[in-house]
Chains A and B, each alone.
Chain A
Amino acid sequence: DAKTTQPTSMDCAEGRAANLPCNHSTISGNEYVYWYRQIHSQGPQYIIHGLKNNETNEMASLIITEDRKSSTLILPHATLRDTAVYYCIVRAQSSSGGGADGLTFGKGTHLIIQP
């Protein structure tokens, strides 16, 4: 899987949009961009994923650049409950469901929402 680079930490004011960048310059054509987060003392939580096009769901939007070398996760109206470590990973989807290669999170971005 391609390597990703994320800022170590970011602050955002409550109610504002939080924009979390991720660089994945070595991404392959068949690799998707996934975002997870982990709130303190909780399990990781899947947020969103995409291949080329921008994606939106009830939690967030994912903007992928045209060259696919970077992406941005957008939380449109951040709340205090969005304070967490956010992980960007890239991963190919195997048609067989994949083998024993479990999810691996890097250091992620610690997003702190300020009241």
Chain B
Amino acid sequence: DAGITQSPRYKITETGRQVTLMCHQTWSHSYMFWYRQDLGHGLRLIYYSAAADITDKGEVPDGYVVSRSKTENFPLTLESATRSQTSVYFCASSVRGIDYEQYFGPGTRLTVT
């Protein structure tokens, strides 16, 4: 039971570069989410998706792009990385929605230099 996986686990990139964080879940959950977690800010929702080809903005979407062509994958792209995007990124999934239990991946620690 692989559950929800994220890759890479660690990434260092330079300011201005494009970087994509991958998220894959094996449960066929309808909903998927991207959060970032920073000291002093806690968890913040970036984007979420209710189903394949349906995505919507969360609390802090600026500078990020998502897509969901398949139910199991939900990649997050930083089009032009900035130092303020240095963070730990968590992908999560849920059967029924954001108000229901969410299952998180192990996280990607991203450093933008």
Contact = CB atoms under 8 A, between A and B. Distances in A.
B97 A102 contact: no
A94 to B, nearest CB: 5
Interface string B9-41: 000000000000000000000110101000000
Interface in B66-108: 90, 92, 96-107
Given A43-B106, A43-B107, A102-B35, A93 B45 contact: no
B104 A45 contact: yes
Contacts of B43: 44, 102-105
A102 B33 contact: yes
Contact of B44 (A46, A49, A102): A102
Q: Is the interface of A mostly helix, strand, loop or mixed?
A: loop
Contacts, number: 74
B56 A43 contact: no
Contact of A102 (B30, B58, B100): B58
Interface residues of B, number: 28
B13 to A, nearest CB: 20
B35 A49 contact: no
Given A44-B90, A46-B101, A98-B98, A104 B31 contact: no
Q: How large is the interface on A (under 10, 10 to 19, 20 to 34, 35 or more residues)?
A: 20 to 34
23 contacts: A42-B106, A43-B92, A43-B106, A46-B102, A46-B103, A46-B104, A93-B99, A97-B30, A97-B96, A97-B97, A97-B100, A98-B98, A98-B99, A100-B56, A102-B35, A102-B43, A102-B45, A102-B48, A102-B59, A103-B43, A103-B98, A104-B43, A105-B42
Given A43-B107, A102-B45, 20 more contacts: A42-B107, A43-B104, A43-B106, A44-B43, A44-B90, A49-B101, A92-B99, A94-B98, A97-B98, A100-B48, A100-B57, A100-B58, A100-B59, A102-B43, A102-B44, A103-B35, A103-B43, A103-B98, A105-B42, A105-B43
